Amino acid sequence: MLTLDKKTVTEFESEGIQKLKVFFYEAGCSGTKINMETEFEVTDDIEQLEADYAFALYVPKSDKEHLEHARITRVVVADHTGIEKTRYVFSSDEVEDRCGCGTSFAFEKPAPVIDLEKLKKMRENFIKNKK
């Protein structure tokens, strides 16, 4: 079951939210972020999850596998301009990589990209400077 932090659930329930869609989107240093929306149409490509909340919880069928046993925590932090922004931190045993701020993640650890030409030049400079 997808779990949301208590404060987020309390706020959504007190606002009278009837349905909530949780979904992944491409963004951030690690490539994927999580978001939520309350204004959406229930279509064939989304599915309702079992949840113990006063609102219905929906997820895209394509994301369901990764969302079923995860936790989402909402944090409000100031960005580089000092403006507070809501962000969501996705936690799951399936996450293999995470960015520094914690909001973007990946389900696979990226293979390091090695620029062999650059490495060769650095080695040559090091040997030259050592003499």
pTM of the model as a whole: 0.76
Q: What CATH number has the domain bearing residue 96?
A: 2.60.300.12
Our count of domains for the chain comes to 1
As a whole number, mean pLDDT of residues 61-80 equals: 88
Question: When comparing pLDDT for 111 and 66, which is higher?
Answer: 66
For residue 65, the SS3 value is helix
Give 5's DSSP letter: -
pLDDT of the residue at 129: 78
pLDDT of the residue at 37: 94
Q: 9-44: per-residue pLDDT in tens?
A: 999 999 999 999 999 999 988 889 999 999 999 999
As a whole number, mean pLDDT of residues 67-86 equals: 87
Give 94's DSSP letter: T
Mean predicted lDDT score pLDDT of the chain: 89
pLDDT of the residue at 59: 96
Q: With 90 as the cut, is the pLDDT of residue 127 above it?
A: no
pLDDT of the residue at 87: 87
Q: Would you list the DSSP string of 51-77?
A: -SSSSEEEEETTTHHHHTT-EEEEEEE
Domain that holds residue 22: 3-130
Strand partners of residue 91 = 71
pLDDT of the residue at 12: 94
pLDDT bracket for residue 128 (50, 70, 90): confident
